[in-house]
Every structure is written in structure tokens, then in C-alpha cells.
Structure 1
Amino acid sequence: MPDLRALDLNLLVLFQYLVEERNLSAVARRLGITQPAASNALRRLRATFDDVLFVRTPQGMLPTPYAQHLAGAVAEALGMLAHALEAPPRFDPATSTRRFRVAMTDVGEIHFMPGLMERCAREAPGVRVESVRLQGPELQRELDAGQVDMALGAFQGLGGGLLQRMLFRQGYATLFRHGHPTAHEGMGLKAFRAERHLVVSHAAPYGQVNQALERAGLVLASHFSVPHFAAVPYIVSVTDLLATVPSKLADSAAERFGLRVLTPPVRVPALQSNLYWHARFQRDGGNQWLRALIVDSYAQR
């Protein structure tokens, strides 16, 4: 049995052409090589398989029984390889039914998903976007494996093999209900600390706001808390609690829930939202299309 490690793929191409042409000169022309080069390749092919493979006859170069045995498998293998090496089919959003999995936080879902759904309905009616909740090493593994197409938002702990594109930076704002007895824009730190607050306890990757509140003197354990941002506007709209949240969420919630907004009298680092994807899918047509759509819809100009 020939050693596959020593097998020259070009010899298999010559074998396939000889099966089809049964003429070494015709094979040489088809390969774009000289007759002597084709003869030399045939000698190497015979040595590799320890068989004469093709015998010259008045009807042309006919395959030996062993060559006939090889012919079907060689043709199939070369065909599969040629198919694999073809350029992938062009991604057409208008006809695609692809389902993209995009990692987002609850804040990301509130900000990104409505616009993505609207754009897909208009431009790619068969495409679906599925939001998944993953963080840190688990998200990295899923991106590495291609199980998640991209991540969208302010994520921490992502590294090797990933590419990213900044979308926007935002600060924080404090929400309170219309008619709140004491909260107002411009209130000082002492008055701000005296209020009752609603804290988002599982705020990663937005935990910097809780750290800033603690540095300002708030004892978070003494305040009410929820694990996610999604419930915040519902609670704030019917209580006297204050909630400090990313500014884009504050703007959206204030309009929909009739809330007021003030600038918190604490220093919180700006929050940067990025688009992340794995380098392996840099040239994937569908991934490129969705990235372009996201950048067009949400990137700061």
C-alpha cells in the first residue's frame, strides 16, 4: 500500500486525466506540461503504486485491473476536493434562512434587538437573530467553536482570536419617577446618598456603576436590588427608588415609562460597547453582512 504521506496530489490528477484521455500527449497538453514531464510523472506514479497502471495499445493507454480498481475512488476524492476548494456560495440576505446567535446582555437586548428585528424584516425576511446570555470564558469558548456568531455590547475577558469594532461610548444616568418628592436634576451627592436606590446586583459587565456608587458612600447592601436591568423601569415608575443605569437605557426607558432623568453626582467611567467576532469568520459572507448591518445601525458617527 502506498504511503499517503509521500503521495503527490499532482500524480493523482495525471492518473485521472489518463483514465479519461487514454493518451499521454493529450494529458500533457491538458496539464500544460511537456511530453517528457508527463512521461516522468507517469514513471513516478507507477513507482508509487508498484504497478504499470496503463498499458500502451492500439486503442490508447488502457488501465490495468489495479488502475481500474483505483479509478472510481480517485475520481470521487478529486471531485470532493475540488468542491471543497470552490468559493463558498455568496450570502444573499434577501433569500437566506440563516439563524445567527449573538451574545448580548439584557441591556443589549433592549437596545439592539428591536432595530435588528426591524432591519431583518425589511432586508432579510428569512434571517433570524437569536440572543444568548453568555459571559467571560464560556462566551470565549462558544465564539472559538463557532457556536456563537458574534458578541454585541460591553463585554470583559474576551481575548485570543477575536476581532472587535467599537460601536459607541456612553455614560450613566439616574432614573426616577415623574412626581418624585425629592429627586431632581442637579441634586448634590449628600441628597443623592440619602435617597433609596434600586441596585442591579448582577450588573456585569456594567459593574463599574456599583463600584462608583460604593465609592460615593452608598452601602449597596442596604438598598433594594434586582439581578437584571430589564425590570428597573417597571419598578422605578411606581416607587420612589432611584436607579442609575447606562444612559441609552435611561433615554429609552424615560420615554416609554414616563420617567425623569438626572445626571448622577458620582464619577462613573464611560462604558464602551463593541462588536466582537472570531477571526475565523472574518470572510464569512453572512457574518460580514450582519456586522455591516450592526455598524450601520448603531456605530457612532
Structure 2
Amino acid sequence: LEHQTVEPFSWVTFARADHPACADWGIDAWHRYPHVMVNVTRSMQNPFPVTPQGDGGARRVSAMIGDSAGVASLLGKSDFLATFPAILLAWDMEVLGLRALRPPVDLAPVLVRFFWSSRLANDAGGIWIRSIVIEIYRHLQAEAEAKLSGDNLLQPRAIK
């Protein structure tokens, strides 16, 4: 297999805009409110553990769902928090009244790689379609990160 690594994505915690955690966002709110987690299969675990190592960032996972399609609407109608890549929910924020919050714990970025068959690595059609797919991904990733920067990303309050 051949591959190309592109920019990693960063984690963003999402909640409804009027979620009580937004009033005092920080590690205490991270612990206090329930989280929803996507777990596609038992063998495919969530990219970051329920309890990140060494940072006191344990989260209370109260719901596990099998795919990410329903997460935004669930967040808009509940007190759940969900931590996902910006690219996953950035466009649902306005429609469903969600707020982006910077996680109060350190979560390593996740590498993104595109893979293809070595046998087809030099195929002109394969090169063409790969370049289109990777460029579209990069554009969407950059747009999502821009949507969730500056004043659009609530920072956690300083730890006392």
C-alpha cells in the first residue's frame, strides 16, 4: 500500500449553545456533564480513551452510538457533550444551535492518511482522482478549522 499523510485534525468539544457548561467551561464542566461517544464496533475503539492518560481528564460517557450521523441533533436537544474533529460538526453548528468548546484536556491530534494500492500508484487516473480527493479534504479541513477559531471557539477558564 502507498499512502499520503495530510494535516492532522484537532479535537473540539461540542454542546448546544445554551448548555450550562458554556457558562463556566473548564475541567469541572468536562467532568460534570455526560458525554456521548461514537463507537462503530467493539474492535474499533474511539480514538481517545474515556480517561486520557495522566491529565485528570476522565469524562463520564453516558451514551455510545454506532455512527456520528445523529450526534449533532442529539447535542442540540440534550445536556450531552461530544468531542470530535472540527470537520465532523462545523457545518451543523448554526443549523442546530451548537457551540464549539476547546477541550480542557490535552488530546493528541490524529493523523489523517489516504491509502491506495501500490500497483496503481503511477496510474494517471488514480493520480488524478487522488489529487482531487485530497485537495477537497484539505479545503474542507481548513474551512472547518477556520469556522471554529477565534471567538467561535470557547476557551476553558484557567485552572486555579
TM-score greater than 0.5 by the shorter chain = yes
Shift of 1:234: 1.3
Shift of 1:209: 5.1
Task: Note the 1:1-301 alignment, pairs <5 A.
Answer: 162-180=1-19, 182-184=20-22, 187-202=25-40, 204=44, 206-208=46-48, 210-212=50-52, 216-220=57-61, 223-299=62-138
Q: Could you tell me the percent identity over the aligned residues?
A: 23
Secondary structure of 1:296's counterpart equals helix
Taking a change above 3 Å as real, the CA distance of residues 185 and 262 of structure 1, as seen in their structure-2 partners, is farther
Code of the residue aligned with 1:170 in structure 2: it is F
Q: Distance in 2 between matches of 1:183 and 1:262?
A: 10
Kept after mapping to 2: 8 A contact 1:171/1:246: yes
CA deviation vs aligned residue, 1:90-147 (integer Å, no higher than 9, x gap) = xxxxxxxxxxxxxxxxxxxxxxxxxxxxxxxxxxxxxxxxxxxxxxxxxxxxxxxxxx
Shift of 1:299: 3.2
Larger proportion of strand: 2
Q: Distance in 2 between matches of 1:226 and 1:299?
A: 27
Structure 1 gap ranges (5+): 1-161
Secondary structure of 1:265's counterpart equals coil
Taking a change above 3 Å as real, the CA distance of residues 178 and 245 of structure 1, as seen in their structure-2 partners, is same
Kept after mapping to 2: 8 A contact 1:165/1:274: yes
Q: Distance in 2 between matches of 1:219 and 1:240?
A: 12
Q: Distance in 2 between matches of 1:238 and 1:246?
A: 20
Larger proportion of helix: 1
Taking a change above 3 Å as real, the CA distance of residues 260 and 184 of structure 1, as seen in their structure-2 partners, is same
TM-score (norm 1): 0.41
Q: Distance in 2 between matches of 1:215 and 1:228?
A: 27
Q: Distance in 1 between matches of 2:72 and 2:127?
A: 35
- Higher RCO, 1 or 2 (CA under 8 Å, sep at least 6)? 2
